[in-house]
Amino acid sequence: MEYTEHVTSRDVFDLRRGGRIDEAYTMAKQLMENPDYSVWDKRAYAWCLVDLIKRANAENNQAAAERYRNELKPLIITESDGVLFKQTEYVLRVVNPVVKTLATIKSLKEAGQHQDALDKVKDLYAQNPDDESVKNAYGWCLHKVIQVEAKEKAINFERIKACLDDVFALGLHNDINFMRYLWGPILTIKEVEQQIPLYQYALQLDFTTFEREDYEVKPYKGSDGMMHNWPSLVIRVLRKSLNSLDKTVDKETIITLRNLAVEHMAYLNESTYYLKWSIAKSYVMSNELDTAQQKILDLLQAKPNEFWLWNGLVNTVENDHIFALSCYCKSLLCQSRLQFNGAAKLGVVKELVALGQYDMASAELHELVTFRIDNHQTINDQLNTYLHTDWYNPDAESLSKDFYRENSAIAVEFLCQSLPRTIGIVNYVSEVQNRAFIAADGDMSLMYQYDAEEPLHEMDVVSIIYTRYEDQDGTVRYNVAACEKVDEEPPTSLVMKFKEPIKVIDTGLAFTKESNVFMDHKMVQTYNLMSGHVVSGVAVRSFNKKKNCWGWQATEILGINDADSEIA
């Protein structure tokens, strides 16, 4: 119908209110053909299009909805138009085929059909590569697939890697909020660094986008009911990425990632011990063996009983079978359980074979293979090769612990050659745990895990080689690298003889009045000590944990003077 008489926008609105939307639309369209149409003419036209889009959408008439949408889009409706602006935004959004497809994708995700959602959004992105909403939806679908896959018993690492490749191809790795969600499930996968080259993705990250929270630990309550700290996101990304390196990676890539780790380690307010271990291994990967060796020795100085560090030290030398054997023997002394340290046992076999010690190698090989069979573990090609050699003797006599102690001496000496030494005295022994607590010159308190076959006793004088390191909070700690009982008098700084009057307090403990030598409840009762007694005896330097200070504790009573009478 064509309206030839003079019409206005008011006539259009009257028709709308009367439900005659098609007539109103025709009239409004004629008004818009006038080059001098008014703002109210445009508003009337827009309202008609809004109504028609809603109707077409309700009738599922996509062709009509798209036609009206294309007419509405060029109209510039501003926020000053209030309700019309909001309605225009709304209908353009619901009619937009991209938005509709995104809504379908969202429904698929909510229904758990994650692969279908991913396939659909991938097709949508191919058609709309510049649409940020599509790109983001694509990224979140990839994240969801990774998240679900990470929880599977049999993880498809190729699928996860393909998803990661797509995420980084989208350019979403510079969105730090998205990265926090993406890395979360990946870093929880056990040994993921052995399956996926995470270093490739870490090197694409812009670490300047990480914020303070990404460098901070996250407190959590453990199954033991205690509060613990979960490592920061940055340290976990760096460690896993460094650990994904292998000798096939080019040296430049290794150095770039290592430098990145060293740079950002300075901003971490947590223990970086294991990150330093990953950095040390990267020097092995780049064949910088001298530097790797020094880094591992530094770590061993802080924790000389970590078996995996001794295993790692082997990789810093070439063709030195005696030294390698010594490191593996020391490793097995630190951790003899093969479910944790089978690598060292295999290392012993390899080095004994290289040294031509076939009977010893046979004994170690038999023990390792028996363990793997009993625990339903794979017998790899190398072990099978050894089993079928002429030299293998399954009846070879097992090696004693003395073999490991004797052969570990070279490795221990190598570590200890640059470490400080001191003399100490054993002031307490826990026989149940095979632990000796030692006081050393300079008021150092050390704990030594001794071998049950070579026990230590209270008042034994020992020569100690020790390491010194600082905790993250600055607390100075010491570890015993080597300890040997010596036949000599203890220094007067650690043991003293005393003869002083004592005072027995209400708790049943006693102290000498001059040197404040402590006597425990058992000693007071055994000798029936009373205030005023003049007691002579031997005291050893000891640390009072409750008072957090050093003092003297009586270990032996030599005599008691009471009213000029001596009770011995």
Q: Which amino acid is at 374?
A: D
Burial (0-12, 13-18, 19+ Cβ within 10 Å), 499: middle
Cβ contact 124:101 at 8 Å: yes
DSSP H or E segment with residue 482: strand 476-485
Superfamily of domain 495-562: Nucleic acid-binding proteins (2.40.50.140)
- Reading the chain (568 residues) residue by residue, the pLDDT tens digits are 555 457 899 999 999 999 999 999 999 999 998 888 999 999 999 999 999 988 987 888 878 888 888 898 888 888 888 898 988 888 877 767 787 888 889 999 999 999 999 999 999 999 999 889 899 999 999 999 999 999 999 999 999 999 999 999 999 988 999 999 999 999 999 999 999 999 999 999 999 999 999 999 998 888 888 888 899 999 999 999 999 999 899 999 999 999 999 999 999 989 999 999 999 999 999 999 999 999 999 999 888 999 999 999 999 999 999 999 999 999 999 999 999 999 999 999 999 999 999 999 999 999 999 999 999 999 999 999 999 999 999 999 999 999 999 999 999 999 988 788 899 999 889 999 999 999 998 888 999 999 888 899 999 999 999 988 777 666 788 888 889 999 998 889 999 999 999 999 988 999 999 999 999 999 999 999 999 999 999 999 998 888 888 999 999 999 998 745 544 4
In 3D space, the residue among 522, 539, 533, 542 whose CA is nearest the CA of residue 568 turns out to be: 533
Domains 419-485 and 495-562 share a fold: yes
Residues 533 and 516: their CA atoms lie apart, in Å, by 14
Locate 193 and state its tokens. Answer: 């660094």
Residues with Cβ within 8 Å of residue 67, at least 6 apart in sequence: none
Return the number of other C-beta atoms located less than 10 Å from residue 41's C-beta.
20
Q: Is-contact 478 467, C-beta < 8 A?
A: yes
Q: What is the pTM of this model?
A: 0.72
Helices 21-32, 39-58: crossing angle, 10 deg rounding: 140
Domain ranges of the chain: 9-95, 197-287, 307-417, 419-485, 495-562
Classify residue 205 by its DSSP letter: S
Q: Indicate the SS3 state at residue 477.
A: strand
Closest alpha carbon to 485 in 432, 418, 426, 444:
426
Q: What angle do CA 492, 498, 501 make, to 5 degrees?
A: 155
CATH topology for 419-485 is: OB fold (Dihydrolipoamide Acetyltransferase, E2P) (2.40.50)
Those residues with Cβ within 8 angstroms of residue 445's Cβ, 6 or more apart along the chain or in another chain: 437, 438, 439, 478, 543
What's the residue count for the chain?
Answer: 568
Sign (positive or negative) of CA dihedral 192, 194, 196, 201: positive
Closest alpha carbon to 252 in 282, 278, 295, 280: 282
| DSSP secondary structure code for residue 418 in this structure | T
